[in-house]
Amino acid sequence: MSILDVKFVQGFIRMCNDGWEQGWHERNGGNLSYRMKPEEVEEVKSFFTQEGEWKEIDTSVPKLAGEYFMVTGSGKYFRNVILDPADSACIIELDEKGENYRIRWGLVNGGRPTSELPSHLMNHEVKKEITGGKHRVIYHAHPTNVIALTFVLPLKDEVFTRELWEMATECPVVFPDGIGVVGWMVPGGRDIAVATSELMKQYDVAIWAHHGMFCSGEDFDLTFGLMHTVEKSAEILVKVMSMRPTKLQTIEPQNFRDLAKDFHVTLPEKFLQEKEA
């Protein structure tokens, strides 16, 4: 038995490869993190090979103190994860304050966890609390069509949510809370982590203008599926906008209200208001 036979490790590797195959991870773009369950920590403990020194996270996540995460490595390529997971990813442990981490497995040829570790951990902290511990996956990717839209749509939650809901009937059911948008910011640091985790209090999806997207979810299937649904919808919107300056017909506010009733989701009215001309 190898650590690579463990179910969550396999799920992590498969998700990295699925994202690569979608074209969302050019070069070393994107990163993935998974908050491990206590029984999963027990399951893989015997494979821990390192007790690396404690290093600063660059932010403080006290509600995640003592937790373990599987994360991709900084500067590592998603396309290589499936070939050599122990080179491309790692398992980290957080200290009792939630201020430092140390590597317990992986990154065997050196390196550090993802450059977006502050955003990942701050998002995990918000989502752990809000979902009562259900959300375990935070995924950052560079999907082409979503990024393209950040150059032509106003960077407002209401606009992105409504436009993307209109592009496919399943969208309001898959992300009923909507989508948050952050204007352009320097990636990798605490400021963008704070801005993103603020949005994650309301939404499971946050778009970084001219950069990419963050999704949060309970497991690998739901989180990958969320990224996939939003990007598919963005692709339809790009095609529609390329064909005509205005839509000839669309899903109307009352259609959304009818859908919400039958599918038992709550769609905030702020996304169903008249559009500004």
Q: Of 11, 52, 111, 187, which one interacts with ligand 2HA (CB under 6 A)? A: 187
In sequence order, the 6+-apart residues with CB closer than 8 A to the CB of 187 are 115, 116, 208, 211
Q: Which is nearer to Zn ion, 28 or 165 (CB)?
A: 28
Q: Which is nearer to ligand 2HA, 32 or 171 (CB)?
A: 32
Contact status: 144 vs ligand 2HA (CB under 6 A): no
* 198 given a catalytic annotation: no
Q: Which is nearer to ligand 2HA, 52 or 189 (CB)?
A: 189
Binding residues for Zn ion, rule: CB under 5 A, are 212
Contact status: 28 vs ligand 2HA (CB under 6 A): yes
Q: Answer with the entry of Zn ion, ligand 2HA, none that 161 interacts with (C-beta below 5 to 8 A by kind).
A: none
Tokens describing residue 96: 């009792």
In the region spanning residues 29 to 88, those forming contacts with ligand 2HA, defined by CB under 6 A, are 29-31
Q: How far is the CB of 30 from Zn ion (least distance, A)?
A: 6
Q: Answer with the entry of Zn ion, ligand 2HA, none that 31 interacts with (C-beta below 5 to 8 A by kind).
A: ligand 2HA
Q: How far is the CB of 123 from ligand 2HA (least distance, A)?
A: 13
Binding residue count for ligand 2HA, defined by CB under 6 A: 8
Cα–Cα distance, 44 to 177 (Å, whole number): 35
> Which of 40, 116, 166, 235 does the annotation list as catalytic?
116
Cα–Cα distance, 84 to 80 (Å, whole number): 6
Q: How far is the CB of 120 from ligand 2HA (least distance, A)?
A: 10
Q: How far is the CB of 210 from Zn ion (least distance, A)?
A: 11
Contact status: 216 vs ligand 2HA (CB under 6 A): no
Kindly give the pairing relationship between strand 137-141 and strand 180-182. Answer: unpaired
Could you give the dihedral angle defined by the CA atoms of residues 181, 145, 28 and 20, in that order, rounded to the nearest 10 degrees? 120
User: With left for phi above 0 and alpha for psi between -120 and 50, is residue 229 left, alpha or beta?
Assistant: alpha
Bridge-partner residues for 100, per DSSP?
56
Which of 190, 229, 157, 200 has the alpha carbon at shortest distance from 56? 190
Residue located via tokens 């990024």: 147
In sequence order, the 6+-apart residues with CB closer than 8 A to the CB of 4 are 10, 13, 85
Binding residues (CB under 6 A) for ligand 2HA: these are 28-31, 115-116, 140, 187
Q: Indicate which residues carry an active-site annotation.
A: 116
